[in-house]
Chains A and B, each alone.
Chain A
Amino acid sequence: MRKFAAIYRRELMYYFQSVTAYVTISIFLILSGYFFFSIFRYYNLISLQSIQNNTFSGNLNLIDGVIRPLMGNISIILLLLLPLLTMRLLAEEKKLGTFELLLTYPVPDITAVTGKFLSALTVYLIMLSGTFLYPVILMIYSEPEIPPILSCYLGLFLMGCSFISMGLFFSSLTSNQLVAGVATFGLSLFFLVIGWAAPFVGNTTSTILAQFSLLIHFDSFSKGVIDTQDITYYLLLTIFFIFLTLRSLESTRWRN
């Protein structure tokens, strides 16, 4: 535990000392803020029009009109930003040779890997907590339903976990940060859009593809539905990539 804490603390310190964290967090907040305000203004416009035209329909609400599209956009920003956060985790240390030294200390690989994973997750959570501002703004003007907002955040948190573990895995494969970043971006994009192929393939394949899609699982969260199946999906994905990371570290040693 002491060893884990030391690694976690060092990684977190590095994120904040090297300004990586500040830059990533600010870009994230600026972009998501921009999306929030444009979606919000668009929503205002639509609702104003519908009142004027007397076609006010019951399904126009803050969750469907603002929160859901906002969360969709945020997941795209994450797709772009999280690989930048995770690409250095192992690749940089491998390049500098400090990882070799770390592995000669009495630390199990899993301690080092989970320490790094949680440090990136912490930066991500700090990033995400900045967006609490948007629901708060909505609450000032109106009365959005709270549970769907919370389930959206749970979904984003879980999605972030799986992106970060993918990033960690690619970072363990190479000592080139850029390669790790691009590969993470590619794979997470693939997981995000895999469901789009569903309509074009056979029925069973389509169900399987849908099961793998990050977006389809995220969908139910944004509807305010918390399904154990979705939670399990994200957790399994995360654990699977952490497991692959451990295997890759082991095999680099044996291969060498």
Chain B
Amino acid sequence: MIQIKNLSKYYGTTRAVYDLSLEVEKGEVLGFLGPNGAGKTTTMKMLTCYLPPSSGTATIFGFDILNDPMEVRKRIGYLPEKTPLYQEMRVDEYLRFVASVKGMAPPRVKPALGRVIEQCGLEEVHRRSIGKLSKGYQQRVGIAQAIISDPELLILDEPTLGLDPRQIIDIRTMIKNLGRDRTVILSSHILPEVSQVCDRIIIMNQGELVAVDTPDKLRARLKQVSVTRITLRRSDRSRGAREALLEMEGVLMVKEKSSPAQADTLVLQVESRPDRDLREGIAGKLVKEGFPLLEIFHEELSLEDIFIKLVTEEVNR
């Protein structure tokens, strides 16, 4: 449905997006994830036909962003990063304006207005002027203007930026509902958010695509080691535990991870091959040899770890 082909964008000599290729299926909710300056906003600006790419192109529902920008624009709704709205207009006035500018026929405008006011929870504020609304409500108005023409593709640039936790939950639920019958592309810095809302995640860094996959697969694919964390009471008897663990079969590395705040415990992190769960063997050995074992557990690599790992690996490469 959406094909991005070798898309690149340079601002002068700054490389913002480099050779990005990607396909998005109809009805998918896709999350762009990446640190500041990764090129998420730039990619979205190119997809919405605001910025022309330096090279490469994309087709959206069969229309090329360079050759058929008007056809593309008819089919997308866009929420820019900073939610630019006409502050002096009233919410309903503004949404009516957007509907007309998007070319909706007058008889369609009224029902559409009612629908987005309900969908975005604007019932109580639709007669107020936009400049007087809180950030959360302005964000809702921003989403409302994007969906008023019922577009097939919704592009939302950091839709939850600067909102309080409660508003974030509301907006996420809204996006999930919107994603049920249309394609959504959103960007974010927040991993849990993307993994909750999105079917697939794109990780970008310094303009390049680092990884694309479902949240689960991403987690599995990157689990190159299995990590077991062990806590011992720090005493004479705990000495030599590290060496004892290293002797075990399947153990790749043992790192000490004690925190200075807890001087009476010794924390060791055992890395082993991902296909082996060593918990039983480790516990048995430690107890048998008389080490003061307090805790043992298998660590799941969080998406956050994966993200940081991917991004830093990319930088070091």
Q: From A107, which residue of chain B is reached at the shortest CB distance? A: B101
Interface string of B59-101 (1 = CB under 8 A from A): 0000000000010011010101010111111000000011011
Instruction: State in angstroms the CA–CA spacing of A52 and B292 once bound together.
Output: 126
Chain B hits for A9, CB < 8 A:
97
- On whether the beta carbons of B97 and A6 are closer than 8 Å, the reply is yes
Q: From B96, which residue of chain A is reached at the shortest CB distance? A: A6
Partner of B74, one of A2, A10, A13, A106: A106
**A53 sits at the interface (CB 8 A):** no
Q: From B11, which residue of chain A is reached at the shortest CB distance? A: A256
Chain A hits for B102, CB < 8 A:
3, 105-106
Q: In the complex, how many angstroms separate the beta carbon of B317 from the nearest chain A beta carbon?
A: 29
Partner of A98, one of B50, B84, B103: B84
- On whether the beta carbons of A105 and B98 are closer than 8 Å, the reply is yes
Contacts A3-B101, A256-B11 given; does A105 touch B73 at CB 8 Å: yes
Chain B hits for A254, CB < 8 A:
52
Instruction: State in angstroms the CA–CA spacing of A256 and B54 once bound together.
Output: 10
| Contact-residue bracket for chain A | 20 to 34
Q: In the complex, how many angstroms separate the beta carbon of A250 from the nearest chain B beta carbon?
A: 10
**A228 sits at the interface (CB 8 A):** no
Chain A hits for B80, CB < 8 A:
97, 100-101
**B48 sits at the interface (CB 8 A):** yes
Q: Which of A87-106 contact B (CB under 8 A)?
A: 96-98, 100-106
Interface string of A1-31 (1 = CB under 8 A from B): 0110111011001100110000000000000
Q: In the complex, how many angstroms separate the beta carbon of A234 from the nearest chain B beta carbon?
A: 30
Q: From B106, which residue of chain A is reached at the shortest CB distance? A: A2
Chain B hits for A199, CB < 8 A:
none
Partner of A100, one of B70, B84, B97, B100: B84
Partner of A2, one of B86, B88, B103: B103
Which secondary structure characterizes the binding site on chain A?
helix
Chain A hits for B73, CB < 8 A:
104-106
- On whether the beta carbons of A256 and B51 are closer than 8 Å, the reply is yes
- On whether the beta carbons of B82 and A97 are closer than 8 Å, the reply is yes
- On whether the beta carbons of B51 and A18 are closer than 8 Å, the reply is no
Chain B hits for A102, CB < 8 A:
101
- On whether the beta carbons of A10 and B86 are closer than 8 Å, the reply is yes
- On whether the beta carbons of B84 and A6 are closer than 8 Å, the reply is no
Chain B hits for A106, CB < 8 A:
70, 73-74, 102-103
Contacts A106-B74, A253-B52, A254-B52 given; does A101 touch B100 at CB 8 Å: no
**B301 sits at the interface (CB 8 A):** no
Chain B hits for A5, CB < 8 A:
100
Q: Which of A64-86 contact B (CB under 8 A)?
A: none
Q: Which of A223-256 contact B (CB under 8 A)?
A: 253-254, 256
Chain A hits for B241, CB < 8 A:
none
- On whether the beta carbons of B89 and A101 are closer than 8 Å, the reply is no
- On whether the beta carbons of B48 and A104 are closer than 8 Å, the reply is yes
Contacts A97-B84, A98-B84 given; does A104 touch B50 at CB 8 Å: yes
Q: In the complex, how many angstroms separate the beta carbon of A103 from the nearest chain B beta carbon?
A: 6
Q: In the complex, how many angstroms separate the beta carbon of B230 from the nearest chain A beta carbon?
A: 53
Chain A hits for B105, CB < 8 A:
2
- On whether the beta carbons of B78 and A7 are closer than 8 Å, the reply is no
**B218 sits at the interface (CB 8 A):** no
- On whether the beta carbons of B103 and A3 are closer than 8 Å, the reply is yes
Chain A hits for B84, CB < 8 A:
96-98, 100-101
**B161 sits at the interface (CB 8 A):** no
Q: In the complex, how many angstroms separate the beta carbon of A89 from the nearest chain B beta carbon?
A: 14
**A108 sits at the interface (CB 8 A):** yes
- On whether the beta carbons of A105 and B101 are closer than 8 Å, the reply is yes
- On whether the beta carbons of A100 and B50 are closer than 8 Å, the reply is yes
- On whether the beta carbons of A253 and B50 are closer than 8 Å, the reply is yes
Contacts A106-B73, A254-B52 given; does A98 touch B100 at CB 8 Å: no
Q: From B49, which residue of chain A is reached at the shortest CB distance? A: A104
Q: Assuming A14-B88, A96-B87, A106-B70, what are 18 further A-B pairs, CB within 8 angstroms?
A: A3-B103, A6-B100, A7-B101, A10-B97, A17-B88, A97-B84, A100-B80, A101-B84, A102-B101, A104-B48, A104-B49, A104-B76, A105-B98, A105-B101, A106-B102, A106-B103, A254-B52, A256-B51
Pairs of residues from A and B, 7 with the lowest C-beta to C-beta distance, nearest first: A97-B84, A6-B100, A106-B73, A104-B48, A98-B84, A106-B74, A104-B78
Instruction: Return 7 A-B CB contacts under 8 Å, by A number.
Output: A7-B101, A98-B85, A98-B86, A105-B101, A106-B70, A106-B102, A253-B50
